[in-house]
């Protein structure tokens, strides 16, 4: 029962309308939010996560309304938002904070199950060997994978990712997206990911929701994603990136540049 | 368009108050000169004011060079007592034995009596500083965190901020005097005074650090559904953990010096010993105390500096948790002191 239902969601920042009457429902899918900067993607995700209060409308997960940040919604941020001073393992472990008391969490007295789940999440994102490494010594892509691990430790029903690869180079971006997709599939969670790189989105998404000026422009399955729709969303420039949508949409990960073969197999598996 | 040279040479022209030509450039030059003149006048006024205050202060403290010169003989005699001369193997030197005799006789460091260690004045001073710092630490943490606008919203955090300002407005020595009715003229009161002082100073340093932290990690922890106190400790305090440790080391260093000052007014330890010897004009004994003060304050400062430098460039703190960082600290400090830190 991890259906995310958004009904008539609107958000105003003073005079600026960030979101206007957006409604959709997603369930057990990997959904990509597309749109230019300022289209309302981040605001939508922050509302779903409870970090921002919507002006009107309702959001519910599995039929229950969402009001504040909660454990069963994992969030992955563009700037990772990890705790810098500590290891990848301790960062992943913060995903279990909601399950332990203040005192136990301070003394790192998490249960064996929580500790194992932190290590397993790091294994899922291919960082088990690096788990003792300080996150500030890691590359941007690795840090983002720790961010995914933290979200997984929360044992979420819904994964949200706000431009998770925007600050990464193309090769790391594809690696991270591969792990995100794999994580969502392994843990059987619904994922809602905002992206602005159309080619990456087309490769990893099942379903695409386009936002422009805070309004929903389209909501299509992978097969229906056409250059015309992208054109509407971004203007003509981005269409170049989606020269042959059928090809890219149907392509296996092997045809993408920069993803190491090993990882592809893992993703496929 | 040039002005006659006679006008440009006059004093009024130099200060920018002579009639020169009226081209825009000349008027600009005139204005610049006038501004410079005004600036010079202000500087002059400042120098005169400072000089006057200085002179008034000297009068007030009855500063008298003639008296200094007249007393030089006496100071020379005191110097001979401070540093009693003797000869070692025929070479003239300071009589170190006299210091050591006194340190042992008065038990300034420590002695063993019937198999029991009796801690001396130096350790009493150290204990006053250390106990005061540790007692003040939780209070500093509490007030420091509560004063931060990130934790407590704007007008309310000022209650805590104001409390710390009030504490800081009163010097530690005065806190000691205030607290005497509570615990007497004892080292215990000294530790309490340092505790209060630490709350005010360390708390303020903590608050300043907390104002600098980033929003990202706070939001990251918040998004996991963590409780509010967990968001504060993992999202905020974790960002300033190293800085806090460094400030605590610095504060301990400061408190050791403060404990010596408190000793002089009755909190025991080296300060008290120093005061007693001065009252009785035992200058050699007084210098023995000063040597120990120098050694104590110096070594605490050295350790504190090494802690801070080890924290600054130590990545093992990141790899390990809080506890491991503490366990590894002595080794890292040693390594950094020996200069073996580069790989």
A97 in reach of chain B (CB within 8 A): yes
pLDDT at B324: 59
H or E element that contains A13? strand A3-13
Give me the residues of A, 21-80, that contact B with CB < 8 A. Answer: 49, 51, 69-75, 77, 79-80
B141 in reach of chain A (CB within 8 A): no
Query: Looking at the predicted structure, is the pLDDT value of residue A255 above 80?
Result: no
Contacts of A94 in chain B (CB under 8 A): 220-221, 224, 226, 234
Which residue on chain B is closest to A50 by alpha carbon?
B223
- With an 8 Å Cβ cutoff, are A87 and B320 in contact? yes
Half-sphere CA count of B278, side-chain side, radius 13 A: 11
Nearest CA to CA, how far is A140 from chain B (Å)? 15
Q: To the nearest whole percent, how much of chain B has pLDDT over 70?
A: 88
Across chain A, what does the average pLDDT equal? Answer: 85
CATH architecture classification, B119-342 = Orthogonal Bundle (1.10)
Contact A29, A206 (CB under 8 A): yes
d(C-alpha A121, C-alpha A126), whole Å: 9
Contact A124, A179 (CB under 8 A): yes
Give me the residues of B, 208-237, that contact A with CB < 8 A. Answer: 216-217, 219-227, 229-230, 233-235
Contacts of B229 in chain A (CB under 8 A): 102
What digits encode the pLDDT tens for the residues B282-319? 999 999 999 999 999 999 989 988 888 887 755 544 44
Contact A147, A153 (CB under 8 A): no
Query: Looking at the predicted structure, is the pLDDT value of residue A227 above 70?
Result: yes
Of A102-106, A155-159, B56-60, B158-162, the one with minimum mean pLDDT is: A102-106
Nearest CA to CA, how far is B232 from chain A (Å)? 11
How far, in Å, are A204, A230, A234, B314 from residue A246 at the CA level?
14, 14, 19, 52
What digits encode the pLDDT tens for the residues A136-146? 889 999 999 99
Of A16-20, A263-267, B249-253, B330-334, the one with minimum mean pLDDT is: A263-267
Of A187-191, A259-263, B196-200, the one with minimum mean pLDDT is: A259-263
* Partner residue facing A98 (CB), from B225, B233, B321: B225
pLDDT at B15: 84
Query: Looking at the predicted structure, is the pLDDT value of residue B39 above 70?
Result: yes
Buried b (16+ CB within 10 A) or exposed e, A65-76: ebeebbbbbbbb
**Chain A interface, mutation test: which of B224, B236, B246, B313, most A Cβ atoms within 10 Å?**
B224
Query: Looking at the predicted structure, is the pLDDT value of residue B71 above 50?
Result: yes
pLDDT at B72: 93
* Partner residue facing B216 (CB), from A69, A77, A85: A77
A30-34 and A73-76 beta bridge pairing: unpaired
d(C-alpha B155, C-alpha A220), whole Å: 50
Query: Looking at the predicted structure, is the pLDDT value of residue B7 above 70?
Result: no
pLDDT at B113: 87
**Chain A interface, mutation test: which of B223, B226, B230, B324, most A Cβ atoms within 10 Å?**
B223
Query: Looking at the predicted structure, is the pLDDT value of residue B144 above 80?
Result: yes
Q: From its phi and psi, is residue B335 left (phi > 0), alpha (psi between -120 and 50) or beta?
A: alpha
What digits encode the pLDDT tens for the residues B96-120? 999 999 999 888 888 888 888 889 9
d(C-alpha A98, C-alpha B229), whole Å: 11
**Chain A interface, mutation test: which of B145, B213, B216, B220, most A Cβ atoms within 10 Å?**
B220
Supply B166's token pair: 């009030």
Contact A220, A204 (CB under 8 A): no
pLDDT at A106: 85
What residues does each domain of chain B span?
A: 7-60, 119-342
d(C-alpha A32, C-alpha A198), whole Å: 10
- With an 8 Å Cβ cutoff, are B318 and A85 in contact? yes
Task: Report the predicted TM-score, pTM, of the whole model to 2 decimal places.
Answer: 0.75
Contacts of A154 in chain B (CB under 8 A): 224-225
Query: Looking at the predicted structure, is the pLDDT value of residue A209 above 80?
Result: yes
d(C-alpha A160, C-alpha B219), whole Å: 14
Query: Looking at the predicted structure, is the pLDDT value of residue A239 above 90?
Result: no
Q: To the nearest whole percent, how much of chain A has pLDDT over 90?
A: 57
- With an 8 Å Cβ cutoff, are B220 and A90 in contact? no
Supply B130's token pair: 């250390």
Query: Looking at the predicted structure, is the pLDDT value of residue A88 above 70?
Result: yes
Q: To the nearest whole percent, how much of chain A has pLDDT over 70?
A: 87
Q: How confident is the model at residue A253 (pLDDT cuts 50, 70, 90)?
A: very low
Contact A180, A161 (CB under 8 A): yes
- With an 8 Å Cβ cutoff, are B318 and A136 in contact? yes
* Partner residue facing B318 (CB), from A79, A86, A94: A86
Across chain B, what does the average pLDDT equal? Answer: 87
H or E element that contains B214? none
d(C-alpha B50, C-alpha B41), whole Å: 14
Contacts of A79 in chain B (CB under 8 A): 216
Supply B50's token pair: 């400072």
d(C-alpha B167, C-alpha B147), whole Å: 14
* Partner residue facing A51 (CB), from B222, B319, B320: B222
pLDDT at A263: 46
Contact B267, B176 (CB under 8 A): yes
- With an 8 Å Cβ cutoff, are A51 and B219 in contact? yes
Quickly tell me which residue has 């971004």 as its tokens: A234
């Amino acid at each position: 029962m991890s259906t995310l239902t958004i009904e008539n969601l609107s958000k105003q920042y003073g005079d600026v309308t960030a979101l206007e009457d957006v409604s959709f429902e997603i369930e057990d899918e990997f959904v990509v939010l597309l749109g230019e900067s300022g289209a309302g993607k981040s605001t939508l995700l922050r509302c779903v996560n409870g970090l921002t209060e919507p002006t009107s409308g309702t959001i519910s997960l599995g039929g229950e309304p969402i009001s504040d940040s909660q454990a069963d919604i994992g969030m992955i941020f563009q700037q990772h938002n990890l705790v810098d001073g500590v290891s990848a393992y301790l960062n992943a472990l913060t995903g279990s904070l909601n399950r332990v008391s203040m005192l136990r969490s301070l003394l790192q007295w998490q249960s064996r199950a929580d500790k194992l789940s932190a290590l397993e999440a790091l294994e899922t994102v291919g960082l088990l060997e690096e788990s003792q490494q300080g996150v500030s010594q890691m590359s941007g892509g690795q840090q983002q994978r720790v961010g995914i691990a933290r979200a997984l430790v929360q044992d979420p029903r819904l994964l949200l990712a706000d431009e998770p690869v925007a600050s990464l180079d193309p090769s790391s971006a594809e690696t991270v997206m591969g792990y995100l997709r794999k994580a969502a599939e392994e843990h059987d969670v619904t994922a809602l990911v905002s992206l602005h790189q159309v080619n990456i989105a087309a490769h990893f998404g099942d379903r695409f929701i386009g936002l422009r000026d805070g309004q929903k422009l389209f909501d299509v399955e992978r097969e229906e994603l056409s250059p015309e729709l992208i054109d509407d969303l971004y203007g003509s420039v981005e269409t170049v990136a989606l020269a042959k949508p059928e090809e890219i949409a149907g392509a296996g990960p092997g045809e993408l540049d920069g993803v190491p073969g090993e990882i592809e197999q893992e993703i496929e598996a | 368009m040039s002005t006659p040279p006679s006008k440009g040479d006059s004093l009024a022209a130099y200060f920018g108050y002579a009639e020169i030509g009226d081209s825009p450039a000349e008027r600009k030059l005139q204005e610049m000169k006038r501004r410079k003149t005004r600036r010079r006048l202000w500087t002059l006024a400042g120098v005169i004011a400072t000089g006057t205050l200085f002179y008034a202060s000297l009068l007030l403290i009855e500063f008298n060079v003639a008296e200094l010169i007249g007393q030089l003989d006496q100071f020379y005699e005191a110097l001979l007592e401070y540093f009693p001369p003797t000869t070692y193997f025929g070479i003239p030197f300071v009589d170190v034995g006299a210091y050591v005799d006194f340190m042992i006789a008065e038990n300034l460091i420590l002695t063993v009596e019937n198999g029991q260690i009796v801690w001396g004045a130096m350790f009493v001073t150290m204990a006053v500083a250390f106990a005061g710092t540790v007692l003040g630490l939780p209070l500093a943490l509490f007030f420091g965190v509560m004063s931060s606008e990130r934790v407590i919203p704007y007008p309310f955090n000022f209650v805590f901020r104001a409390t710390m300002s009030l504490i800081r407005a009163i010097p530690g020595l005065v806190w000691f005097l205030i607290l005497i009715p509570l615990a007497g003229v004892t080292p215990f009161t000294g530790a309490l005074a340092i505790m209060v002082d630490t709350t005010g100073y360390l708390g303020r340093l903590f608050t300043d650090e907390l104002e600098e932290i980033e929003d990202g990690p706070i939001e990251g922890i918040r998004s996991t559904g963590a409780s509010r106190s967990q968001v504060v400790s993992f999202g905020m305090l974790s960002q300033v953990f190293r800085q806090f440790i460094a400030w605590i080391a610095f504060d301990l260093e400061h408190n050791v010096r403060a404990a010596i000052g408190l000793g002089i007014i009755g909190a025991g330890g080296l300060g008290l010993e120093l005061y007693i010897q001065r009252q009785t004009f035992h200058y050699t004994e007084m210098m023995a105390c000063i040597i120990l003060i120098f050694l104590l304050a110096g070594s605490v400062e050295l350790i504190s500096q090494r802690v801070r430098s080890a924290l600054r460039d130590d990545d093992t703190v990141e790899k390990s948790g809080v506890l491991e960082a503490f366990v590894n600290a002595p080794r890292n400090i040693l390594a950094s002191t020996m200069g073996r830190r580069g790989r």
